[in-house]
Structure 1
Amino acid sequence: MTETSEDTSPASGAEKGEPRLLWATAAAVAGFGTWLLFDALPGINWVLWTGAAVAGLLLFSRSRGEPSRSVLIVGGAPIAIAGAAAVTASPGLSALICLAIVFFLALLMLLTAGLSPRSITARFAATAPLVALKTAAVQATRRGIEATQLIRSTRARAWVRGLAITLPVLAGFALLLAGADPVFAAWRDAVEVLLGEFVARMVFFVALLVVVLGAYGYAALESASSRTVEGKAPDRWLGSTERLMLLAGVAALFWLFLAVQLGYLFGNLPRIPASGMTFAEYARRGFGELSIVASASALLIVVSERYGNDDGRAGTLRLLTFAVIAAVMLLLGSAFRRVWLYEEAYGFTTARLYAQVYMCAVAAGLVMLSLEVATDFDAGRLFRRATAAATIIFIALIYWNHEAWIARRNMDRFTNTGKLDVAYLTQELSPDAIPAIAERLPSLPEPMRSELHRAVRERSAARNDGRQRRWFEWNLAGSRARQALDASLAAP
């Protein structure tokens, strides 16, 4: 098997872009980011800066022609994810959104330098953020050294050196004199207040400039060489007999488990008086164990396909593999059902919902795995497909106001059970849930309505720092929460 690979190391190419344009664009994007992001709450600022950063990467990568569809898709992912920062007010989701943006920007940076999308494997993706950061630092250093050559005038260089020497000396003497004179001391304090935020903002700007400059400089490199190399085939150390025994044993065990539990697999707790297991333990333990089995089984199949020989038994091995996948899908369905039963009995939480989302992602991965087993198995392609499916699920989750859905379901449960965890609704859920709570509040009887009303007001007051949001900090969930508080929860 052959594939084309390009040497895109920082020292391997020559830049086509004008250095001044590179510096100006990087400084503009870094300054834009400092203005929007420094000491700012998540809002539309995240998507504005992410869009600017992606546009710059695509701009400087045009030295190799128009960006490929894969590059555009990878570039669109962080923008789509960043947009959710203006939709949700959940701190936990904001942290995940930030990590996802960093990951996809790192991936995009490496791809814009000419790498083939086929290079995206599990190992490549796992190291992409660190590799991108290291490469950006190297490129920024190189560009900084080259920038000194832009100062061609001897007089200009003398001015730069003079300022570099004079300013620290003056600052040191001024600080010493401030200790000897109250006027100088007052000036020092005023400058300290003035520079307090400025210094922190400048540090943020410089750090962002280094990353952006390095990323754009790397994207602007033009590959100096392109060669065809032999792709290294995996070492197939697992024989067909071992594969048959392994897959047949796992398939038999899983289907035996399904047969034994057929009567209650998708129902309630088995009626075994001596079991000593409560319904809660059954649902919780069942979910965890079944989810681990499903994930481990998918990994086992990947190892079997990637490192196993078939020795003329491909049909039998494929049949056994599909038998394992089918059993695992049923096990996942059982685990999903157990969590659902647990939620209906004990209430809905974000942790339980995220567990179900994880199971959906595993199920999607199993579908992708089935497609690979049915054709020529390619671990890299499987990873790319599974990552795409997981990304779509993640984007759907962060745009869906699931905390409002959780609040509604828990408040609706109160009608049937008479139980409502007020502490969870007000302490654990983010402001995303406030409009739903305000909507359902009139349907609750006293004294539960007053208790929940008071708890929401107290929690909202504790969250409110009195800070006025700037226009780029606008957040849909926060805006709706404030409107709900003003309209429905303001009265005692």
Structure 2
Amino acid sequence: MDTANILTEPMPIRRGSGRTVALLALVGCADFLIFGQELGINLFLFALAVCAGILLSARRRPRLSMAAFSLSLLVLASAPLVESPSLTDVSLCLGALMSVALISARLFPRRLPALPLVFFRFALVIPLRLAEDIRKSLATPGKRFSFTMVRQGVGLWIMPLILAAVFVSLFATANPLIEIALRSIDFAVLLQFLDLWRIGFWMITAVVVWAMLRPRLKRRAKRPPPGRPFMIVPTRNAPFGHASLLRSLILFNAIFAVQTLLDLVYLWGGADLPEHMSHAEYAHRGAYPLIATALLAAAFVLVAMRRGGPGDHSALIRGLVHAWIGQNVLLCLSSMLRLGLYVEVYSLTELRVAAGLWMGIVAIGLVLILLRILLNRSNEWLVAANLVSLLTVLYISSFVDFPAFIARFNVAHSQEISQEGPPLDLSYLSSLGPSVIPALDLYLQMLPSDLIDQRSKAVTARFYLVRDFEMQPRDWRSWTFRSARLETYLLSPAAIARENENDDNKQDQPTQDR
């Protein structure tokens, strides 16, 4: 009997099966690299794996040049993860992965000013993408979910599993090696995969990775039917009309001129302040409120200088806006000077470093608003330019060890070393982590010999910081360039000699106290 006509044709491989395999492989990779491990180079390696999965499972295989560009973009954006992972570094890496996914799906915008809106539309669908695809798959004819199908599927596996168990038991009886191997199986290791936290980690990873493998954008709102466009034409006496806007700008410029004049006299000119007020108090009371003032002023300028508004038809309004933006830029510079004066008296902290960076970002944003008006650009261009400046600052900051920088600054300007600044706050320095150990060594080296109590506190703080650093896990998945630099420093002859000297001084201290 010829059975050639009875055999069914092989089922074609579905186009989505490659993405499913990539999803399972990446979830397993995330479990091996990240779950239960300290964050380090494992995040960087997982990002590379996700990028490879995106490129390999794309519907249309990208050209070699485009794949090399995508991989280079991801490596550049994810490089801060190798230095020391933080929330900012993870955000930069996620943005790069979103860009690679959009490029592979031909959804990357041709104009860079449109990129923030595309990112926003992409981010909106990430949490629901996997659930939506599962729902669509189950709703496909022939694939509808039913308990009958589940029962039938389980029933098909009953006999094979029973017979397989019988064969394994027989082989174990006949072969002692198989028996020993079966007895050595640790079922506790298998049960750890049923941990709820682990399952939750898998689910979150799967949701994010699947959205990267199958990128979609949130649909735009439907446009109104063609016809006469709906427009709001402000009258001359409207809240943002010509008359109101002109009066507002005149009043705002006058108010800001008073503040600018006071800063020029007392901050830049160094004039004596009234009694019972120091420059530090004057600086502290003005640093943060002035940033809020500049942000509010920027929002007002965007509304006032909208396209088709009074600013497009009045040279006087444009001149007043330019003057006001200039005063706001000077206001940001004054805020940075205020912060500097305050740091001179009360030392440097992470919050004050962040405040200085934000002041600089706001000043750049104000300059970009001025350029947007002068060059007649769109709000999309302004948002994209501000996003580029923000990402540039965050990217560069990711490579800076701010705890070490703060520690070196406070040591160099401390009262014990420079005889001018505030006393070194060793408790705050210890809270910054092991990165401050080299600065503490410099402090101990330059500290006068008569300050025994301060030296004892510094030695104690250094001891606990070194102990905490040595207790950190040494798994290769948690390796970072920052921790490797610190470990190299602690193993250097100079650091070992310093530690031995500290131990000797600590042993001699009771004798000196007596």
Whether these two folds match at TM > 0.5 is yes
SS in 2 for 1:211: helix
Name the residue aligned to 2:487. Answer: 482
Deviations 1:394-420 (A, max 9, x none): 011111122222111111112223721
Name the residue aligned to 2:434. Answer: 431
CA drift of 1:432 comes to 2.9
- Cα distance in 2 for partners of 1:27, 1:80 equals 26
**Map of 1:161-310 to 2, 5 A cutoff?**
162-163=156-157, 191-192=187-188, 194-197=190-193, 199=195, 200-218=197-215, 237=234, 238-266=240-268, 268=270, 270-273=272-275, 276-306=276-306, 309-310=309-310
The one-letter code matched in structure 2 to 1:444 is L
Which residue, 120, 131, 138 being the options, matches 2:132? 138
CA drift of 1:425 comes to 1.0
SS in 2 for 1:306: coil
User: If the length of structure 2 is used for normalisation, what is the TM-score?
Assistant: 0.72
Deviations 1:98-126 (A, max 9, x none): 34444564576567462635684877766
Q: Are 2:407 and 2:436, in contact at CA under 8 Å, matched by a contact in 1? A: yes
Q: Are 2:77 and 2:92, in contact at CA under 8 Å, matched by a contact in 1? A: yes
The one-letter code matched in structure 2 to 1:461 is R
Name the residue aligned to 1:47. Answer: 44
Deviations 1:417-455 (A, max 9, x none): 37211111112x133333343345422234334421221
CA drift of 1:361 comes to 0.9
Name the residue aligned to 2:88. Answer: 96
The one-letter code matched in structure 2 to 1:37 is I
- Cα distance in 2 for partners of 1:32, 1:192 equals 21
Q: Are 1:283 and 1:341, in contact at CA under 8 Å, matched by a contact in 2? A: yes
Name the residue aligned to 2:173. Answer: none
Name the residue aligned to 1:332. Answer: 332
- Cα distance in 2 for partners of 1:147, 1:77 equals 41
Name the residue aligned to 2:447. Answer: 444
Name the residue aligned to 1:182. Answer: none
Q: How many residues align?
A: 439
User: If the length of structure 1 is used for normalisation, what is the TM-score?
Assistant: 0.75
- Quickly say closer, same or farther: Cα 1:405–1:321, change in 2 above 3 A: same
Name the Cα RMSD after superposition: 4.3
The one-letter code matched in structure 1 to 2:88 is L
- Cα distance in 2 for partners of 1:54, 1:440 equals 45
- Cα distance in 2 for partners of 1:347, 1:147 equals 69
Point out the more displaced range, 306-315 or 438-447.
Answer: 306-315
- Cα distance in 2 for partners of 1:77, 1:129 equals 19
Unaligned runs of 5+ in 2: 1-12, 144-148, 162-182, 235-239, 504-514
Name the residue aligned to 1:376. Answer: 376
The answer as to 2:20 corresponding to 1:20 is no
- Cα distance in 2 for partners of 1:375, 1:242 equals 25
- Cα distance in 1 for partners of 2:246, 2:487 equals 61
Q: Are 1:85 and 1:94, in contact at CA under 8 Å, matched by a contact in 2? A: yes
- Quickly say closer, same or farther: Cα 1:163–1:450, change in 2 above 3 A: farther
Deviations 1:196-239 (A, max 9, x none): 256454543344234322431236x9x9xxx9x99x99856432
Which residue, 436, 461, 470 being the options, matches 2:467? 461
- Cα distance in 2 for partners of 1:109, 1:40 equals 27
- Cα distance in 1 for partners of 2:437, 2:141 equals 52
The answer as to 2:377 corresponding to 1:357 is no
Deviations 1:363-417 (A, max 9, x none): 1212221111112241121111101110000011111122222111111112223
Which residue, 473, 476, 498 being the options, matches 1:471? 476
Deviations 1:21-41 (A, max 9, x none): 222222222222222111221
Q: Are 1:87 and 1:476, in contact at CA under 8 Å, matched by a contact in 2? A: yes
- Cα distance in 2 for partners of 1:382, 1:20 equals 42
Unaligned runs of 5+ in 1: 1-15, 150-154, 168-186
- Cα distance in 1 for partners of 2:437, 2:122 equals 38
- Quickly say closer, same or farther: Cα 1:62–1:163, change in 2 above 3 A: closer
- Quickly say closer, same or farther: Cα 1:278–1:87, change in 2 above 3 A: same
The one-letter code matched in structure 1 to 2:408 is R
SS in 1 for 2:293: helix
- Cα distance in 2 for partners of 1:78, 1:422 equals 39
The one-letter code matched in structure 2 to 1:84 is P
The answer as to 2:423 corresponding to 1:419 is yes
Q: Are 2:329 and 2:363, in contact at CA under 8 Å, matched by a contact in 1? A: yes
- Cα distance in 2 for partners of 1:432, 1:442 equals 17
- Quickly say closer, same or farther: Cα 1:399–1:241, change in 2 above 3 A: same
The one-letter code matched in structure 1 to 2:433 is S
- Quickly say closer, same or farther: Cα 1:369–1:390, change in 2 above 3 A: same
The one-letter code matched in structure 1 to 2:321 is T
Q: Kindly name which structure, 1 or 2, has the bigger radius of gyration based on alpha carbons.
A: 2
The one-letter code matched in structure 2 to 1:352 is R
- Cα distance in 1 for partners of 2:462, 2:154 equals 58
Deviations 1:150-188 (A, max 9, x none): xxxxx9995555559999xxxxxxxxxxxxxxxxxxx9x
- Quickly say closer, same or farther: Cα 1:269–1:336, change in 2 above 3 A: farther
**Map of 1:27-42 to 2, 5 A cutoff?**
27-42=24-39
- Cα distance in 2 for partners of 1:481, 1:148 equals 60
The one-letter code matched in structure 2 to 1:392 is T
- Quickly say closer, same or farther: Cα 1:233–1:36, change in 2 above 3 A: farther
Q: Are 1:118 and 1:380, in contact at CA under 8 Å, matched by a contact in 2? A: no
CA drift of 1:466 comes to 5.3
CA drift of 1:338 comes to 0.9
Name the residue aligned to 1:394. Answer: 394
- Cα distance in 2 for partners of 1:269, 1:161 equals 90
- Cα distance in 2 for partners of 1:204, 1:212 equals 12
Higher relative contact order (CA 8 A, sep 6+): 1
SS in 1 for 2:376: coil
Q: Are 1:121 and 1:384, in contact at CA under 8 Å, matched by a contact in 2? A: yes
Q: Are 1:284 and 1:338, in contact at CA under 8 Å, matched by a contact in 2? A: yes
CA drift of 1:297 comes to 1.0
- Cα distance in 1 for partners of 2:471, 2:256 equals 54
SS in 2 for 1:261: helix
Point out the more displaced range, 114-123 or 201-210.
Answer: 114-123
Name the residue aligned to 1:180. Answer: none
Name the residue aligned to 2:348. Answer: 348
- Quickly say closer, same or farther: Cα 1:286–1:412, change in 2 above 3 A: same
- Cα distance in 1 for partners of 2:403, 2:231 equals 45
